[in-house]
């Protein structure tokens, strides 16, 4: 799922919860910092901020793999992601009905 899909049809400024959800989607099966940064379209400073937050909240875990750090969504992170996607779908449905 991309930022445009999470935000609806129009690309616009993403809020923190959308960015966090996008990172968790990218990290479902494991991803490096670089992969997350490019796929989520984040600057390095934004990436550091969100990774630290997600790690602190136990939504993401970090593990070594071949001298690299791999980030993977935890079960708690997957539950958060699923709930966020449900909320986004609900909002997008309401937006379509009122448009």
Residues 6+ apart with CB under 8 A from 18: 3, 6, 7, 84, 88
94 within a domain of the structure (yes/no):
no
Residue 62 located in a structural domain: yes
pLDDT in tens, 43-59: 999 999 999 999 999 99
Share above pLDDT 70 across residues of the chain, in percent, rounded to a whole number: 82
> Which of the pair, 24 or 89, is modelled with greater confidence?
24
- The domain that holds 22 is classified in CATH as 1.10.10.10
Total of domains in the chain: 1
Q: Give me the domain span that covers residue 49.
A: 3-87
Instruction: Look at strands 60-65 and 68-73 and give their pairing.
Output: antiparallel
In-domain check, residue 97:
no
pTM for this model (two decimals)? 0.80
Higher pLDDT, 82 or 65: 82
E strand or H helix that includes residue 68: strand 68-73
d(CA 11, CA 50): 20
């Amino acid at each position: 799922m991309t930022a445009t899909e999470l935000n609806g049809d129009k690309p616009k400024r993403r809020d923190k919860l959308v960015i966090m959800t996008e990172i968790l989607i990218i990290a479902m099966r494991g991803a490096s910092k670089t992969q997350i940064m490019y796929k989520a379209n984040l600057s390095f400073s934004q990436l550091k901020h969100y990774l630290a937050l997600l790690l602190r909240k136990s939504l993401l875990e970090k593990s070594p793999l071949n001298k690299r750090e791999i980030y993977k969504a935890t079960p708690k992170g997957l539950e958060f992601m699923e709930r966020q996607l449900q909320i986004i779908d609900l909002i997008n449905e309401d937006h379509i009905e009122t448009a």
